[in-house]
Amino acid sequence: MAKTVLVVDDDPTQRRLIQAVLEREGLGTAQAETGGQAIDRMTAGGGADLILLDMVMPGMTGLECLAELRAAGVSAPVIVLTANGGIETVVKAMQAGAQDFFVKPVSPERLMVGVRNALQLTQLTAEVGRLKKQAANRTTFDDLVGQSPAMRQVKAMGSRAAKSGIPVLITGESGVGKEVIARALHGASERGGKPFVAVNCGALPANLVESILFGHEKGSFTGATDKHLGKFKEADGGTLFLDEIGELPLDMQVKLLRALQEGEIDPVGSKRPVKIDVRIVSATNRDLAEQVKAGAFREDLFYRLNVFPIEAPALRERREDIPALVDHFVGRFNVEEGKRVMGCAPETLALLTAFDWPGNVRQLENAVYRAIILADAPYLQPHDFPAISGVAMPVLESAPRPAAGPLPTADHVGVEMPPAPEVPIRILDERGHLRTLEEIERDLIQHAIEVYAGHMSEIARRLGIGRSTLYRKVREQGLEEQIKEAG
């Protein structure tokens, strides 16, 4: 999902120039010619991911606008534009909450460096905030990604359940994010900030289930060299999340039912029961009602757990949330891996939205993670998701290959090329002066198009640039016809 930059400047020419640079890099833009218009947009729901704000405007100045934006709770990063680069002006802007400043006229390169840095810092700040809330068990339903009708229903039901201690059973396919919902339920409740303990019942060793859940006394069995509190006691005062509850053995279901009914547990080897204060949230990807009929799950425990059911929707049932989820994962993995990916190309986002995602959000998360690691362009391309798009990754340069070798084509058929004569690229004009970098670059790209018969992947690889960058330069230099002729 493309980021949006709000350009606030009373000069329409400046706005158009900045807009052209931003849109050429795949960013969305919005414009305002006064500070008042900018405030109205940012506070009335229009919003933007970044604001470029001119310091000198008629009526409200840039500093006054910035102060009102911050007072209104607008947290989007702001970069100020000023014709006066004096230290006093810069200090005032930074004290008012600006993140960076440009002295007009600003070069496209400097503009994009500042914009990318600002957006990356926003991602870093958001990720730090997310991790802090998760570590403090303060995640709430406001932190859940998605505004589809199905997710709004989950948030509404969860928010109501959080206000009481009612047992909640979260159902849904594997990978839909049942634990994320459980954490939000805990964080939004009065127990938020207290322990949240998650247990995967399907991963517990059969001979240690009782000990892991209820604890044991020292010496109660062979190997019990120390006292162990157990998950119920660890979660005392907080929430115990029992994931894949349908996998719990029948004999343990009896003991779990007693713990829920009596509010106490019997640690292995203990002479007396131990009182506990735990809220139980359980989850399953199975049909527990069918398991009850088959005798694989106790009916009395089922009714005890299934007091307030919440169904987590499959990702294919909430496709409109996919762009927001992708954006969330891109920001998170950018921070974790030190990458600077801006988002997805439009064709890539359309591809991801149309896919069925049998593994749900977990599969999408892993697919984006892999794409971020391999991406070499500002925006994720279809070939970054080969298992979904069917488009192979471009061949990486591993060893020198002669120009006469077979080149890959769109249908993967090799094309033999004769050795090309070396054609020097002129760097001086007829009068002996240096030609502009743009002219030299155009000649070089034109020569590469001729040598490699218009095969863009190979041209990009040989020039050492990304394919998206190459396509952009071809458009800027007006070389589209040469591509068609060479192909």
Specify burial of residue 249 (Cβ count, 10 A radius: 0-12, 13-18, 19+).
middle
Q: Give the whole-angstrom CA distance, residue 363 versus residue 178.
A: 14
pLDDT digits (tens, 9 = 90+) for 39-52: 999 998 778 999 99
pLDDT value, residue 301: 95
- Tell me the CATH number of domain 141-313, given options 3.40.50.300, 1.25.40.10, 3.40.50.2020, 2.40.50.100: 3.40.50.300
Half-sphere exposure of 352 (CA within 13 A, CB side): 31
- pLDDT tens, residue by residue, 197-207: 999 999 998 88
Task: Give the DSSP letter string of 138-194.
Answer: ---GGGS---SHHHHHHHHHHHHHHTS---EEEE--TTS-HHHHHHHHHHTSTTTTS
Residue 243 pLDDT more than 60?
yes
Confidence of residue 305 (pLDDT cuts 50, 70, 90): very high
The pTM score is 0.73
Check whether 262 has a pLDDT greater than 60.
yes
pLDDT at 87: 78
pLDDT of residue 435: 75
Dihedral sign for Cα atoms in the order 223, 225, 231, 232: positive
Confidence band for 389, pLDDT divided at 50, 70 and 90: confident
Q: How far is it, in rounded angstroms, from Cα 151 to Cα 241?
A: 20
pLDDT in tens, 450-473: 877 778 888 888 888 888 888 888
pLDDT band for position 85 (cuts 50, 70, 90): low
Domains 4-132 and 141-313 share a fold: yes
Q: How many residues does the chain have?
A: 487
The percent of the chain in helix, strand and coil, each rounded to the nearest 5, is 50, 15, 40
In this prediction, residue 380 carries a pLDDT of: 93
* Mean pLDDT of the region 13-25: 91
CATH architecture of the domain formed by 4-132: 3-Layer(aba) Sandwich (3.40)
406: pLDDT strictly greater than 50: no
User: If you average pLDDT over every residue of the chain, what do you get?
Assistant: 87
Whether cis (ω within 30° of 0) applies to the bond prior to 105 is yes
Cα–Cα distance measured from residue 21 to residue 29, given in angstroms and rounded to the nearest whole number: 10
Q: Using one digit for the tens of pLDDT, what is the confidence trace for 185-229?
A: 999 999 999 999 999 999 998 888 999 999 988 877 777 778 888
Is-contact 291 248, C-beta < 8 A? no
Return the amino acid letter for 482. Answer: Q
Q: Residue 74 pLDDT > 60, yes or no?
A: yes
> What value, to the nearest 5°, has the Cα angle with vertex 363 and ends 361 and 364?
65
Domain boundaries, the chain: 4-132, 141-313, 317-389, 401-487
Q: What class does CATH assign to 317-389?
A: mainly alpha
